[in-house]
Amino acid sequence: MMLNKIMLDALINRVSCGRLVAPAPTKEEMKQAFQAALRAPDHKRLMPWQYIVFEGEGALNELGEKYRLACISEDPNAEPEKLERALSLPHRAPMVVVAVAKARGHEKVPHIEEVLSAGAGVQNLILAVNSLGYGAYWRTGPLAFNEHLKSLLGLNQEDTIVGFIYIGTPEIEPKPKVIPEVDDFVSWF
């Protein structure tokens, strides 16, 4: 019963941590976190998930270059500052996971259900990383919807980037958030 209370407290008090530094979780720790992610609800067992991990200076530079090229594809006359920012975005944490909802094309499962499943997987991933003592935050923004970035990542155009998950060690103690009142969001009949 005590373990259940600990798990519930972790869910209720979860916060994102935007200031992350090295170290990131080890590969073995991330395998555990991905096991949790792969337990997300999944209609028709389509397993519509793909996670692309960028870790370390070289990989983060590569992701930054993909971001830069994606920005140029949308605006060939993009300001140099915007392109420099694109290069720097992945360096906000020592690890970035691109979370993708794969479009499986099942006639009984609309793609939105695959996106929701991938989102549930991201939540599980973040909770697992937190339980291992690391911090994480989930970002989207225009790059998540950039069609050229999909091809640079080897994705199909029907696939959906559900987010960029930044993972590392919290640089500062995450600030607790106000917990919303249940009755403000739940109706009972």
Query: In this predicted model, what pLDDT tens digit does every residue of 53-81 receive, in sequence order?
Result: 999 999 999 999 999 999 999 999 999 99
Q: How confident is the model at residue 6 (pLDDT cuts 50, 70, 90)?
A: confident
What's the average model confidence in pLDDT over 167-179? 90
Within 10 angstroms of residue 148's Cβ, the number of other Cβ atoms is 15
The backbone torsions φ and ψ at residue 99, rounded to the nearest 5 degrees and listed phi first, read -100, 130
pTM, rounded to two decimals: 0.94
User: How far is Cα 168 from Cα 27, in angstroms, rounded to an integer?
Assistant: 13
Among 49, 30, 28, residue whose Cα is nearest residue 39 = 49
Domain boundaries, the chain: 17-53+92-172
DSSP per-residue codes, 128-159:
HHHHTT-EEEEE-SGGGG-HHHHHHTT--TT-
The predicted structure's pLDDT at residue 4: 84
Q: At what angle do helices 111-131 and 27-37 cross, to 10 degrees?
A: 140
User: How far is Cα 52 from Cα 7, in angstroms, rounded to an integer?
Assistant: 27
Q: How confident is the model at residue 175 (pLDDT cuts 50, 70, 90)?
A: confident
The predicted structure's pLDDT at residue 10: 87
100 DSSP assignment: E
Tokens 């500052």 belong to residue? 81
Q: Is 90 exceeded by the pLDDT of residue 7?
A: no
Q: How confident is the model at residue 5 (pLDDT cuts 50, 70, 90)?
A: confident
Please give the single-letter amino acid code of residue 174: P
CA neighbours within 13 Å on the CB side: how many for 147? 5
- Digit-coded pLDDT (tens) for 11-46: 888 899 889 999 999 999 999 999 999 999 999 999
Among 18, 39, 5, 31, residue whose Cα is nearest residue 129 = 31
What fold, for 17-53+92-172?
NADH Oxidase (3.40.109)
The predicted structure's pLDDT at residue 149: 98
